[in-house]
Structure 1
């Protein structure tokens, strides 16, 4: 088998991957966690969507400079290695390989299964139904991506187009049929301190915004990464933020935040109120297509991380994980990511898995933002097809946002944060062993 990935991913597939990775489970399901944290107060939730979007766009504008300057397969892992050295680069890839990608795939698979379970007439907590669906959808998409990266990119483009339909319908009819009530007042419900709750709701919105940086992992398979990658990240995020704000206003104009906090799928609740039971089911199918596309995007990009690590011989089984089939896909790396995801999915916990992965990945996002400033100082003559505007203001804002996320999680969710740190640090003895054996 060849070890060279084919350059067959263009701008359309790249921007579809950004939008597809970001708009998925979060916008449909995270309002429950947000308005539960605010005790039914809508204001703080809307602020968190705006602030989360702002932090994400600042991060996207910042990280795109490195993505364009270092257009190699591996994404953030490669950026960190070039900036900070081999050990930290490996640790980034290790975290993504064993925690972030499989954990996120598992979380999305679980929420897909819960929504499908309700559509089939079962309850969302019926694990006898939910777990087989979750495992089945993960393995199905693994098989489709093994056929070839161009097929994975094609699935992404089609799913992204399909997912916009329920979003647009909810937005349009939500504004037409909804009541123009306040979406800012009250800021929180009784007994909730707005400042202390902000971190919790921001983590939820950042999960909904997450995925934007992962298209960088496809750089080695893109036709013109220096030109297309920054446009895909920035253009995709601008679309996402606009959609998120509009649809969350539409949600609140149809159902109060206190009601959205009580259901697994606030989007389905709103769709049922707007279109009735049958129309609501049709919209739910559209939501499932959206989540399907997001899941595919994470499998498509996530499997490239263990592939990149294996090319360097850094992880156990590198000889097998570096193999690429005739369709141009890293077949064994896809299986590794998907099998780990299935193991995580056995927990059946959407919010727990998503919180765990968001904390771990934002540690390295923040290092990436800092890396832009570090590279500007150490390598001023480096070829930069794209430069972050308003430097150094935008990178500084991105760094502040990242530090807030990481520190807040350490304080408010120490057990989840500790789990992420332990799983990540397990990579250090593995790296040391492989270096000695080399």
Structure 2
């Protein structure tokens, strides 16, 4: 079926920027400064090192995106350059682990900030209910109108970028630039390389950049526009992160930020706008998180459909059906919605009973995702060696750097022993997927 493309370049870029820049950007400065003993320059270096994986990864994936317009994004790339069975297993991982795990936690964070804004007690029950309503709202917007979902993504992204820009510029105007070149302001014992410990949490804050590939078939002139979005979006995120970090650090001061912790954000806004500014800021933070939630929802609704049209999902005829004149596969969206609501309940139980200390279920898919990205980077190198990519920079140097960046993120994640449990959970889902796909393959052979 020939259908009109729904999303332009701007929406593709805002999807990447809007998902990656969620709430973490506003509350990472104190953590980074603690690791760097108050050194702003070392903090900037941390952001840059952590960004290597995403920026060079985007440049590498952009090469694959420019070679096809088939629906599926990363699933298509794995199918074409690895194997159909590997693509199916990766798709199951995204449907049953990656998207719902992150969606459930992002929806929970909406509840956290709304309770802060309204002065409500943040009980697990209240956060779970608010998170569920937030998800269902984003689900409804995208289910009934692809254009409305894209428009909200644009609005939320522009809102958060404006706020980040205001705080960054205000920091440079009213702050003390001399603090940027100051050495460590806090004396601590331990390894002189301890500041590199900040790589792991910062790297996780960059996650979500590949979600835009899930709507590749609905982007106008996708062979041209999606690669542009995959390159420009992550680079913009890096500059936004660094500008905000430096701006707020020289406005409030590294020492005070470390003392205040997450409360340094309210301090910065109060300095600029007075006590009432904190409330306004929280509204923008809520919009920021809703933008991330909407972006993940927008991408997830299509994932079961993308598998079903390849006959890699149960009830493929129903899930892979796209009604004439519609842009959202309704059955696929309902499947994604149900899975997301199940995970929202799981996240509530995990949070209420503190089943994962100092963590949450959104970290389960992160390391596994970057392992899969590395597989694609290796195949880009193979394309170069086969003569299908004529540039050594694009076909060899960029994917090698992307691989190194991803390994840094993986090694950072492995510092947490819970990551091995997370990889085990991901492994179980992949084994189930391979078993299902294997049975489908055998049944097809028998029929022939």
TM-score by length of 2: 0.86
Q: Quote the residue 2:438 is aligned against.
A: 432
Q: Quote the residue 1:170 is aligned against.
A: 167
Q: Quote the residue 1:372 is aligned against.
A: 380
> Is the CA contact 2:33–2:258 (under 8 Å) kept in the aligned structure 1?
yes
Q: Quote the residue 1:152 is aligned against.
A: 149
Which moved further from structure 2: 348-357 or 129-138?
348-357
Q: Quote the residue 2:341 is aligned against.
A: 342
CA distance in 2, matches of 1:94, 1:47: 36
> Is the CA contact 1:14–1:215 (under 8 Å) kept in the aligned structure 2?
yes
Q: Quote the residue 1:399 is aligned against.
A: 403
Q: Confirm whether residue 208 of structure 1 aligns to residue 205 of structure 2.
A: yes
**Residue 257 of structure 1, CA deviation:** 6.5
Which moved further from structure 2: 180-189 or 237-246?
180-189
In structure 2, relative to structure 1, the CA distance for the partners of 1:410 and 1:176 (3 Å cut) is same
CA distance in 2, matches of 1:32, 1:65: 37
Q: Quote the residue 2:273 is aligned against.
A: 275
In structure 2, relative to structure 1, the CA distance for the partners of 1:258 and 1:398 (3 Å cut) is farther
**Residue 392 of structure 1, CA deviation:** 1.5
**Residue 390 of structure 1, CA deviation:** 4.9
Decide which structure has the larger Cα Rg and report it.
2
> Is the CA contact 2:312–2:437 (under 8 Å) kept in the aligned structure 1?
yes
- Deviations 1:21-72 (CA, angstroms, capped at 9, x unpaired): 2222231244465556668776654322111223221111111000111232
CA distance in 2, matches of 1:235, 1:177: 30
The equivalent position to 2:72 in structure 1, one of 71, 74, 90, is 74
Q: CA RMSD in A?
A: 2.9
CA distance in 2, matches of 1:99, 1:188: 41
CA distance in 2, matches of 1:289, 1:365: 30
In structure 2, relative to structure 1, the CA distance for the partners of 1:54 and 1:308 (3 Å cut) is same
> Is the CA contact 1:71–1:216 (under 8 Å) kept in the aligned structure 2?
no
In the alignment, structure 2 segments of 5+ residues that lack a partner are 352-357
**Residue 292 of structure 1, CA deviation:** 1.1
Which moved further from structure 2: 261-270 or 19-28?
261-270
**Residue 193 of structure 1, CA deviation:** 4.1
Q: Quote the residue 1:313 is aligned against.
A: 311
Number of paired residues?
A: 430
3-state DSSP of counterpart to 2:276: helix
**Residue 329 of structure 1, CA deviation:** 0.4
3-state DSSP of counterpart to 2:327: coil
- Deviations 1:317-375 (CA, angstroms, capped at 9, x unpaired): 32332233443102232233333333333325594233223212111111121121122
3-state DSSP of counterpart to 1:312: coil
TM-score by length of 1: 0.88
Which moved further from structure 2: 149-158 or 260-269?
260-269
**Residue 245 of structure 1, CA deviation:** 0.3
**Residue 264 of structure 1, CA deviation:** 5.0
3-state DSSP of counterpart to 2:66: helix
